[in-house]
């Protein structure tokens, strides 16, 4: 491969992440390369976190977030924890400030190895999400799926965590709904001009909820960090929970979400390295490091 760059295959609670290192060069991962990587079982991913040189002085890096359909997002909580773990292992540092399309965010690796990301302030105004029509109250908007007089899902809360989220509150097990069927319809609903991440949330106590997400530009995933943050703030905002919530995701793990008095949302959880290799950012051709292959065999 002529223009190979290092990358690591990682996951954040099962959310499949490729962390690609493009520091020191001007290359970008093309949408074609992203789709080619997503199409192969070995490198199938939900998001690529592309680490670029810092743009704003004082930041550690600029992170481009690329979905498996080649589109870009302003936020990815699980991917950001993977970036923190990778850079902490490389540099020995624990505290970072990153820039994404959505702005600056602080993140750190804790002494116990857990990763905390300050996901910034949620936005609830309809223009910020964005919605295509005005809603004065975004705690429950008019949107439903299923028969008009007996909807299966209805009245979601909506929020932006740097990316758009709709949270449908359900009373049954989150697995009992056909999210694979409703997810794509709702993601592309005309109410969401930039599409949306669609989640089902079941409140299990004043401090916990179960969450399942259909991700914009991806599909069903095993976890979604920004959806966990959106669900937590919407749950608190509608009086369903307090401001500190443990979220159980489909892979079975947990995220702690804390909505602080200064309006910032902290997300704490694990990340896991799987293997490393190199990839061509223009074509998506890749190879695994030999050491990783030896470990796997
Ligand atoms: N998996 C992510 C969310 C990634 C972005 C999303 N699909 C979008 O397009 O907004 C997370 O952990 O937050």
User: What domains does the chain contain, in order, with CATH numbers?
Assistant: 5-115+271-288 (3.10.310.10), 126-263 (3.10.310.10)
Residues 292, 294, 295, 297, CA torsion sign: positive
Distance CA 2, CA 4 (A): 6
Instruction: Answer yes or no: is the C-beta of 43 below 6 A from any ligand 1 atom.
Output: no
Instruction: Answer yes or no: is the C-beta of 241 below 6 A from any ligand 1 atom.
Output: no
pLDDT value for 292: 53
pLDDT along the chain (297 residues), means of 10: 90 98 96 98 98 98 98 98 98 98 97 98 98 98 96 98 98 97 98 98 98 98 98 98 96 95 98 98 95 51
Which residue's C-alpha comes closest to atom 4 of ligand 1? 76
Which residue's C-alpha comes closest to atom 3 of ligand 1? 76
Q: Of the listed 76, 82, 229, 234, which one is catalytic? A: 76
* Atom from ligand 1 closest to the CA of residue 228: 13
What ipTM goes with this model?
0.97
Q: Decide: 124 and 138 in contact? Cβ < 8 Å.
A: yes
pLDDT value for 296: 44
**Which mutation among 76, 102, 192, 225 tests ligand 1's pocket best, with the greatest number of atoms within 8 A of CB?**
76
Q: Tell me which DSSP letter residue 229 carries.
A: H
pTM given for the model = 0.96
Does the active-site annotation cover 229?
no
Instruction: Answer yes or no: is the C-beta of 216 below 6 A from any ligand 1 atom.
Output: yes
């Amino acid at each position: 491969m002529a223009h190979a760059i290092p990358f690591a295959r990682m996951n954040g609670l099962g959310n499949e992440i490729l962390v690609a290192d493009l520091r020191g060069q001007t290359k970008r991962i093309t949408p074609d390369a992203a789709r080619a990587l997503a199409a192969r079982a070995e490198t199938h991913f939900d998001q690529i976190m592309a680490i670029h040189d810092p743009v704003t002085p004082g930041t550690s890096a600029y992170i481009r977030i690329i979905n498996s359909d080649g589109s870009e997002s302003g936020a990815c909580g699980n991917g950001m924890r993977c970036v923190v773990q990778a850079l902490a292992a490389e540099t020995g540092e624990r505290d970072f400030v990153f820039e994404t399309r959505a702005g600056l965010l602080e993140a750190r690796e804790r002494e116990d190895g857990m990763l905390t990301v300050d996901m910034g302030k949620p936005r609830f105004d309809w223009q910020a999400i964005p919605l295509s029509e005005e809603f004065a109250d975004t705690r429950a908007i008019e949107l439903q799926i299923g028969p008009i007089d007996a909807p299966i899902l209805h009245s979601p809360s909506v929020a932006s965590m740097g990316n758009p989220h709709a949270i449908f509150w359900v009373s049954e097990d989150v697995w009992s709904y056909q999210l694979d069927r409703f997810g794509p319809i709702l993601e592309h609903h005309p109410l969401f001009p930039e599409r949306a991440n669609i989640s089902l949330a079941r409140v299990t106590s004043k401090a916990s909820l179960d969450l399942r997400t259909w991700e914009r530009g991806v599909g069903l995933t095993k976890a979604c960090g920004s959806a966990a943050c959106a669900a937590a703030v919407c749950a608190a905002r509608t009086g369903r929970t307090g401001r500190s919530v443990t979220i159980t995701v489909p892979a079975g793990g947990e995220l702690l979400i804390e909505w602080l008095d200064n309006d910032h949302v902290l997300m704490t959880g694990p990340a896991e390295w799987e293997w490393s290799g190199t990839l061509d950012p223009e074509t998506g051709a890749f190879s695994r490091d030999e050491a990783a292959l030896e470990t796997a065999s």
